[in-house]
Structure 1
Amino acid sequence: MEHAHGFLPFIALLLIVPLVEVQAQSPSTSIGTARALDTLLQDYAYRAFDQPLTGVIYDGQVPSYLSGIKIAALRLRSGSMRRRGVESYKEFEIPMGVIERPYVKRLALVYQNLGNWSSLFYDLPGYSFLTPMLGLLAYDAMNISATNLPELYILAKGRPISIQFTDVGTVPIGSTAQCVSFDLNGLPRFEALMSRNVCLTNVQGHFSIVVKSGSGSHTPPAPVLAPMPIPRPGPTVKEESKVWGIAGPVIGGFAAFVFWGLILVFLVRYKRKKNMAQMEHESEHGVPLQVVNMGVVRLPAAAATRTGPELEHREVP
């Protein structure tokens, strides 16, 4: 069942991708495709970790069929993020007081810049993007080889997280730019800009600046999608624990069997060797036979018997 759940987002992705151009005209976002993309990008972002240092940003590489998307990963101690925050993580500024739920000892913040793929994965009817879609998602980072991890929920309890976009298109005359954020369920939320290129958020998600369509905005042309191959997810921590839960007793029982078998063989050989040594000792140090002289020859002779022979019938015929 665990493997089946791991494959579902990618199976959904394969079914949806060939129909992206049709769905671009649909009133809803391709949330199944976007969630599958998050799972895939988490895997590739974690591959950038090679004996990772805490607080260091590692840029990842996406597969060639997603050229144009940028990713990065930042590994932090939970307490460090809460006490000090992160002054600069790409376009994001994370203040003090940000917490995660459920609690983990170490977490990783995965950064996404979807570039000209933004409108394909986050369709917003009636609006055009002035910036690429940026993503900030948190995951457990105790096992950096893990895949298909669920997102953690992060919350800025004090100052909000700031997003300073660096590539903002021109706002058409008469139009008003807005911040838009998508939560993990694909629901959009609109907020006012703090300045020309700054948006604020208290939670994780995907963020961009948009204007209403029909104003001559410069939304970049969307790339042509090729079907995404299904990556083979590695075993989860839960699956590995199940395997070791079964293999552990079997290996332990076999080792105990071999150990006691060796002990038994050693005892048998020791007993046999001891008996042989005792027999040799008796043969070399036993009671010697008496020797008698017969002429010039000395011959061994048995000792006299204690009881002399008696006739069975005393009467002699």
Structure 2
Amino acid sequence: MGFYNSWYTIVWVMFAFSLPSFARGSNDYDIESLNAFIHDHADKALLKPRTGTLYNISLPANFSGMEVSVVRLRTGEFWAKGANFSFFHIPPRIQPMPPVRRLSILYQNLGNWSSYYYNVPGYRLVAPVVGFMAYDSSNSSTVGNRTVDFSIMGDPISVHFLHSNVPAEGENDVTPQCVKFGADGSFKLQDMNESYVCITQGEGRFSVVVPDKQDGLEKFWAFGFVGLVLLLLVMAAIAILLRRKKKMRKMEEQAERGVAFDTFWVGGSKIPSASMVRTQPALENRYVP
């Protein structure tokens, strides 16, 4: 049993170390915590802002590489002119829902933190994850806490990835695609135009992806490794069974070379047994009266 337990432990430890290859599709950092952090930090940093002015929000040093900015707008002006800030072009004729007197638009560029919070299985990010959220700030000089949606009556919102390292379409046999991430970490892919512009009907976070051939190769090797581990486990089990049968045969041969005993079967084992012979009585004296 010691031999079996050793093989069992080794094989399953190897199998456990192979599991992280399949877990890379999950997010490493919590998105909801990030959203709460960005909103609270911007809300506290925005003191008596001027309407229509974009303010850059300083983040702690441990979030270096991430950019956050915010602008407060009157709804009437927003409807008439839209808003062109950061990566986003928000055209006129967009109504906040529910209707509000003022709104704040909070922009985010996750920069080099993008892949820590978002990933698309089978694809790789070739642009930072950028996004925006709108809040009702009618009764506050800060960002506000209640989110608002957009009702688009005219052209859609466009996201411009001007400073990304997006490869040209057809280069290295890849076709860049827009990706929109949902609040729960889900994603939706769509084609992008030649100017690397993504189109959306509402707020959210966006990026650009291309097929990840290396990711497919890693999965191939991971599946191959797991298959090898399982094969070793089966071979170890077979070797143990053969060793046990060989040991049983040796025991039976040793028993047969000794005193000849009758045998009988108990379950799947052959057990030696002495024959029951009754001793015949004998008279000590032959004289019979």
TM-score if structure 1 supplies the norm length?
0.56
Q: Which runs of 4+ in 1 moved over 3 A?
A: 22-30, 144-147
Aligned with residue 52 of structure 2, among 44, 55, 58: 55
Q: SS at the partner of 1:47? A: helix
Aligned with residue 94 of structure 2, among 91, 98, 105: 98
Distance 1:80 1:146, change over 3 A: closer
Could you tell me how far apart the structure 2 residues matched to 1:151 and 1:183 are? 15
Could you tell me how far apart the structure 2 residues matched to 1:185 and 1:154 are? 19
AA in 2 matched with 1:104: V
Whether the 8 Å CA contact 1:52–1:75 is kept in 2: the answer is yes
Could you tell me how far apart the structure 2 residues matched to 1:24 and 1:82 are? 47
Could you tell me how far apart the structure 2 residues matched to 1:38 and 1:167 are? 24
Distance 1:80 1:134, change over 3 A: same
Matches within 5 A, 1:277-316: none
Q: SS at the partner of 2:30? A: helix
Whether the 8 Å CA contact 1:183–1:204 is kept in 2: the answer is no
C-alpha deviation, 1:75, in angstroms: 0.2
Could you tell me how far apart the structure 2 residues matched to 1:183 and 1:81 are? 25
Could you tell me how far apart the structure 2 residues matched to 1:211 and 1:150 are? 35
Matches within 5 A, 1:178-189: 178-189=177-188
Report whether the alignment pairs 1:44 with 2:60: no
Partner of 2:247: none
Q: Identical aligned pairs, as a percentage?
A: 32
Partner of 1:89: 85
Q: How many residues align?
A: 192
Structure with the greater alpha carbon radius of gyration: 1
C-alpha deviation, 1:96, in angstroms: 0.7
Distance 1:123 1:144, change over 3 A: farther
AA in 2 matched with 1:70: E
Report whether the alignment pairs 1:126 with 2:118: no
AA in 1 matched with 2:52: G
C-alpha deviation, 1:28, in angstroms: 4.0
Could you tell me how far apart the structure 2 residues matched to 1:143 and 1:182 are? 29
TM-score if structure 2 supplies the norm length?
0.61
Distance 1:146 1:107, change over 3 A: closer
AA in 2 matched with 1:118: S
Partner of 1:154: 150
C-alpha deviation, 1:25, in angstroms: 3.2
